[in-house]
Structure 1
Amino acid sequence: MTWDIDRDMQDLPGKVAIVTGGNTGIGKETVRQLARRGAVVYMASRTEARARAAIAELNSAHPEIATKGGRIEFLELDLTSLAGCQAAARAFLEKETRLDILVNNAGIMATPFELTADGFDIQFQSNYLGHFAFTYPLLPTLVKTSEDPSTSVRIVQVSSSGHAFASSDVSFDKVASVNRDFGSTWTRYGQSKLSNILFAKALDKRLASHRIFSSATHPGVVRTELNRGYMQTYPWLSRVQGVLEGILKALVLTSPYKGALTPLYAAVASEIEENGWRGEYFVPYAKRTQPSKLAMDEKLADELWTFSENVVREKCGSLDSRE
């Protein structure tokens, strides 16, 4: 029997969560379901006005959030700024002393080639590197929270089956390697989503002695704003956008509710800990499976971790903005 949000998701009193990209799509649905069960949820988003509007909408639609002791807070997070990612982590840590659930959900897809102000491919930084810079300062709090026997700490990377689009010669040995154009926006997207899975595995390796369960997920092909990216890359599609979206909706695309099911499973389901599922990859709906061969390469995961540490330290002066 497939794990079900309404049937199987338990209340989360006293739990604290962060969901990046929480103001829309899968992220918003994830925030909704966590807050409805009494968790304090930080909606990490770049645009405050959109986040505040989403929070107001969720609070209005679900009075049970307040009655169960839940709360939704805005947390400013711009993944295209590594210093901004550290600042977001610091802002959270100034307010909270625990973190039970971290869902790194935010991302972009198939956008035109562009470098961020930090000098990295925008898909690589938005989907992965920014999340690394945001997550690293939170690790001590995640570890401390894991010492509480009443909780099961989870870190979830929302990846994609598109990780298989990554080039077979992908490398994280230097900045020039991750900034290759590859000749395809989908290959760059694949590199970023491969990085999500390798990050989940690298985290698991480094947190193996703690009661923290790190996972990566493919949520499915979902009707979200993520689909704007390829319209920017292929502007001619705008002429048939309505027809195309109608076809995709009818044949392929699923709802944000269904898209949130697998990430939520990784974030809260008791069987994750009961089965000792660490560094695993889950696909719709709540199914454990193996990702691509590259995504299971431990040496590549270590190379990515070392690269990420070095570039964040170089760009920000330290790995932890509190240092």
Structure 2
Amino acid sequence: MEGVSGGDEEDMGFRWEVREEATMTIGARICLLVNSAFHKLSVKYETTDCWTETQATVVIMFNDFDKSTIPDLTGRVILITGGTGGIGVEIVIELAKHNPAHIIFTGRNAASADTTIKRAHALTPRANITFIPCDLASLTSVNAAADKVIAVCPRLDVFLPNAGIMATPPGLSEDGYEVQFATNHLGHALLTRRLLPLLEKTAAIPGADVRLIITSSTGWHGGTMQFDDLRTTKDTRIAMGRWKRYCDTKLANMLYARELAKRYPKILCFSLSPGVVGTSLVTDLSLFDRTFVYVSQLGRIRTVEQGSYNHLWALSVPRESIKAGEFYEPVGKLSTYENASSKDPEMKGRLWEWTEKELEKWLK
């Protein structure tokens, strides 16, 4: 059975009618806060001649992806953050097989970066791959990384802001922002803003297809945008506070993609979720949080390779198949979900203005 927003599915003799509810229970909200691909759904199923209705949480099943559909990338320059671990490594290795002119990836760990390059070169010896150190929790580091990207790239066809942290303890970045928000949104926003002139320059080249693909998560469903506490640890002392802070950053990723799509229509900008993936984002959690994720996601956690599929799809699908500013679940499923913050027509603009103000000194 494949989860959908509406319609019928046939599965092992049962007929499933799946529809998303506007109002979610506390249990469903908690599932959203753990970066799940769950929705609170109402499920009606039929056995023989009897209808029974129950409330259940039904996983959105993930479609497969055929890597042979990835086009030849000759001449294209690709940048991905977080290429030293998780799905970022898989994306670098796979894209290297398709003849791009240059792949640049960022991360904090030089030894892990060397491993990524060696793995890619073992399969594609002539691939042109460059590592640039970057700590997204440090705007100084991000600014320096942007300088290096601009120095080595005459063009930039695809930018994948992919790196991130999840459910970390309360803390501040070196610039004084809540650390998850600093890493997942603000650092990427600075890198994006610094690289927008290069992206626009590339988009003006005849035949160019420039894409800015921001990694978010279905966790944004549980996020809210409140701008007055982003220079605090946002430590609410509630049990799931670390997850709530994470969800807020994923909402920011999605909203920022929408605003970028509006302001820069020549660049195809949208956001996506890789699904719930068994990377270090999960394995490095506390025992309690790991147990919570594994139990709530039993049988639904994707391999790292599978976690790369939505990004590879987003790079491969014809441009006209993508709706700018939208959010896609794995693999290539256009999401229609909205929450109070995402429905607010002014929210993405408010996030843009707040972000511009905070980055002002770096953009002069």
TM bucket normalised to smaller: 0.7 to 0.9
1:26 partner amino acid: I
Distance in 2, matches of 1:128 and 1:228, equals: 22
Distance 1:284 1:275, change over 3 A: closer
Cα contact 1:78–1:84 (8 A) shared by 2? yes
- 1:278 paired to 2:332: no
* Greater helix fraction, Structure 1 or Structure 2: 1
Tell me the alpha carbon deviations over residues 84-111 of structure 1, each in whole angstroms, 9 at most, x when there is no partner: 1111011011111100000011001111
Q: 1:57 aligns with which of 119, 122, 125?
A: 119
Distance 1:193 1:229, change over 3 A: farther
- 1:224 paired to 2:285: no
Q: 2:234 aligns with which of 180, 195, 208?
A: 180
1:289 paired residue number = 335
2:302 paired residue number = 254
Distance in 2, matches of 1:204 and 1:160, equals: 18
Relative contact order higher in (CA < 8 Å, ≥ 6 apart): 1
Shift of 1:254: 0.7
Gaps of 5+ in 1: none
Distance in 1, matches of 2:262 and 2:151, equals: 28
2:12 paired residue number = none
100-109 or 294-303, which deviates more? 294-303
2:3 paired residue number = none
Matches within 5 A, 1:103-252: 103-167=160-224, 170-172=225-227, 175-176=230-231, 179-182=233-236, 183=238, 184-208=241-265, 210=266, 212-228=267-283, 230-231=285-286, 236-237=287-288, 251-252=299-300
- The residue matched to 1:38 in structure 2 has which SS? coil
- The residue matched to 2:285 in structure 1 has which SS? helix
Distance 1:122 1:156, change over 3 A: same
Gaps of 5+ in 2: 1-62
Cα contact 1:19–1:44 (8 A) shared by 2? yes
1:48 paired residue number = 110
Cα contact 1:154–1:268 (8 A) shared by 2? no
- 1:17 paired to 2:73: no
- The residue matched to 1:79 in structure 2 has which SS? coil
Distance 1:244 1:288, change over 3 A: closer
- 1:312 paired to 2:359: yes
- Alignment: residue pair count: 297
1:284 partner amino acid: P
Distance 1:157 1:171, change over 3 A: same
- The residue matched to 2:87 in structure 1 has which SS? helix
Cα contact 2:65–2:331 (8 A) shared by 1? no
* Greater strand fraction, Structure 1 or Structure 2: 2
TM-score by length of 2: 0.76
192-201 or 258-267, which deviates more? 258-267
Q: 1:263 aligns with which of 307, 311, 315?
A: 311
Cα contact 2:180–2:246 (8 A) shared by 1? yes
Tell me the alpha carbon deviations over residues 261-311 of structure 1, each in whole angstroms, 9 at most, x when there is no partner: 1122223321xx224611011001111112433234341111111111111
Distance in 1, matches of 2:345 and 2:66, equals: 32
- The residue matched to 2:152 in structure 1 has which SS? coil
Tell me the alpha carbon deviations over residues 180-222 of structure 1, each in whole angstroms, 9 at most, x when there is no partner: 32431111001000000011001111102x2x11010011111
Distance in 2, matches of 1:31 and 1:5, equals: 17
- The residue matched to 1:73 in structure 2 has which SS? strand
Query: Percent of aligned pairs with the same residue?
Result: 32
Cα contact 1:110–1:229 (8 A) shared by 2? no
Distance 1:297 1:153, change over 3 A: farther
Cα contact 1:101–1:155 (8 A) shared by 2? yes
Shift of 1:250: 6.0
Cα contact 1:114–1:121 (8 A) shared by 2? yes
1:77 paired residue number = 134
TM-score by length of 1: 0.85
What's the Cα RMSD here? 2.2
